[in-house]
Amino acid sequence: MNASLPTRLPSRRRCLQTGIASAMLGLAGLLSAGSAFAQEWPTKPVRIVLAIAPGSTGDTLARMMAPRLEALWKQPVIVENKPGAGGVVGTEYVVRATDGHTLLLGTQSSILPKYTQKGLRFDPLTDLVAVRKVLHYQLLIAANEETARKARTLRDLVALSKTTDKGLFLAGTGPTSIFNLSFAILNKQLGIRYEAVNFNSVPAMNMAVLRGDAQFVVNTPASLKSHMDTGALVALGAVNAKRYPNLPDVPTLQEAAGYTGYLPQLWHGFFVPKGTPPEVTGRVYKDVETIFGDEAFRKQVETSLAASFVTPASPTSFAKDLQEETGLWQDLFQTLNIKPE
């Protein structure tokens, strides 16, 4: 038996080498097939879904990006708005998509319902795959002209809210939307007496403040700028640690009201449904990187949307950021006693 072992070992070695070689060839074939698949994708029109109505800042962003992605993908890029239920309707639509050509340009409102809504039929953290965060947006607290005449500063707005039993009305887009949640967090320290009046879109939310159906709003400068330029809306505070360079006259919340708490930020980022081939995720990431690698286009977006461009990050980094941010929001919800409804 022992004498025969040396004669068997080379044979086994040859079999092992042959097996490894076959496996390597197979792996090379799979990698080649994956690369080919990524090059061939897309094979039909691509849909970019937003869980918000037309006319919002995110909608403008998607429509600015679409023609450039079409040029790279050689297929139509269709922007679809599916608002409703504080972002749940559009997000679930993408989660259920199986065509391999449906993307979500989502926000925190796509993720946070996991912690704010009962009976959610999907888990956004596991049923969506993070591809790339695109932009961080600036946020403002702004009041309509009539209210601003009575409250010229954010401290004045706090005082004004306490002069009536019901306080003031905040225009929002639903209890789990990033606008409503952001203000709920800010107000833990600001102390404004208010009730939220909710609408099904950002334009409708803005219009409610302009009409006087609500007195103030939390929104992006890009969405409010045209009304601020006419004086119909007045910015009372920037939700940031420093004044925004494009709005140097708007004080920070710390300057305006002594606020020292957490400063929530709105962002938009690309997601694909779970099960999407990783080659597609990589292709979308690469091509979004490409279009924002054009400095002129990047500056056009930043100027048009009054937003800060996010430093490029891999899908893995975006997923890690999401885990950390949602953990922070969870802790805040517990502190503020915000429970699923």
10-residue averages of pLDDT along the chain (341 residues): 37 45 45 54 98 88 97 98 89 97 94 89 96 93 98 98 95 86 93 95 94 96 93 97 94 97 92 97 96 94 83 87 89 82 78
CATH topology of 45-135+266-294 equal to that of 140-257? yes
Closest CA relative to residue 310, chosen from 268, 263, 281, 271: 268
Closest CA relative to residue 116, chosen from 171, 184, 14: 184
Cα–Cα distance measured from residue 119 to residue 201, given in angstroms and rounded to the nearest whole number: 23
Contacts 24+ apart (CB under 8 A), 90-95: 90/49, 90/50, 90/51, 90/52, 91/51, 91/122, 91/124, 91/128, 92/121, 92/122, 93/49, 94/49, 94/128, 94/271, 94/272, 94/273, 95/122, 95/124, 95/127, 95/128, 95/273, 95/274
Domain boundaries, the chain: 45-135+266-294, 140-257
Contact 113, 296 (CB under 8 A): no
Q: Which CATH number among 3.40.190.10, 3.40.50.12280, 3.40.50.300, 3.40.30.10 corresponds to the domain 140-257?
A: 3.40.190.10
For the domain bounded by 45-135+266-294, which CATH number is listed? 3.40.190.150
- The token pair that represents 70 in the structure block: 């079409």
Instruction: Give the three-class secondary structure for 232.
Output: coil
The reported pLDDT for the residue numbered 250 is 97
The reported pLDDT for the residue numbered 20 is 44
